Chain A
């Protein structure tokens, strides 16, 4: 197969774009997609400091690599979830990545903040591990941004992540989630950093290819707690649809963003307060993170 751009040997076929690329042209394509996302949603400028949330996986490290290459002012944020060998290995990958490129990495421990690592949190709350983990990650990402003076947090969510989240929200008609699903969430409170997803135009196969071609040493094994998660089932369904109809995921997500999201956004208005305990943003008096920490403390 030949590269659509230059005729050299292709290394990746992108059926949804009816294209195939050689290594240099694929890397250019990838960077241009990130640049288009940043520009279209005015995610950040080169004058702003960007906090990149990294997990040690392909997506977040690929994102950080692109932003470093494009001369953005970035720091990494690694949240240590305390998930046994998985966390030990993923933290080491992030530290090695940051050290090799001479960029700062902030490490924050979930166990220190909540009082217990994710596996203990799961037992205490008797809810799926992803529930307390997701809540803790959102809270600690925003807290780290505020503590260290970053106006914006960038995450490695890709097209597949976003399409699977959308499918999950539509299946349950979660209008609040649909109103919030966006490649760029603005700051709606002085204690809320902007959240952006510069990889939302790229599939996870494309981010995996980018990480491989850039020789990024990422953790291939995934979180043991995510096994059997509903989001994985949604991804598999979408991948089957993509196999018979290239572009299906893209059309599903981009159709929603361009044609439907605004209707849900109008229907949702929430008043944000500051948590009486920690000062972070909440819709109640005590935030969900402080309530989770209380629950962990009571059981230990």
Chain B
């Protein structure tokens, strides 16, 4: 337990974090690309067309993973917000900024693909029903958090303020999830509820592959961003200078 504890805490030290991110990056990148290729192939070629919607339904393979991710990223951000707020972990603040940016991106993808899907199937790009509106609110919350980080010069103050906004905004997560169950909406209820699904297996497994692919791409993005951030923040510290010197030497020798 003690060793695990020490290992966990080391993620909070920039030098250790940088080492681990660097080692992680090629693995995550390779896995992400493999899953994107395999998932994309099964989703856009192997999966059969839908009995009602025909080929249009395939946009689901981008829409649903993006929408899931938009909520999962926020959920993870609540954890980071607690680390910032209670334990004042500096790196959790850096990660929050990255998460907010990426989360906003995935929310936007979910909204845009949803509109493109809605036009041919429902007959409209947009309606103000509970599901669509609460997802739009999620985008605004993400953008608000991004704005706090961008506007406040003091990074620690920004992180704490963003943490509070994240906690307040987390109320929206259950609203998004249950909107299609609590209220009449134009958006249909979820096809996957726990282990039960109303989706044929030949269409379901490409969705699961694509969801995993999106998650891996997200992790890849986080690893990349966070690594750059650590470098930025550490540009005047001895450990980086030492590391650069050793890199230079090995370059000259080789």
Q: Do A and B come from one complex?
A: no
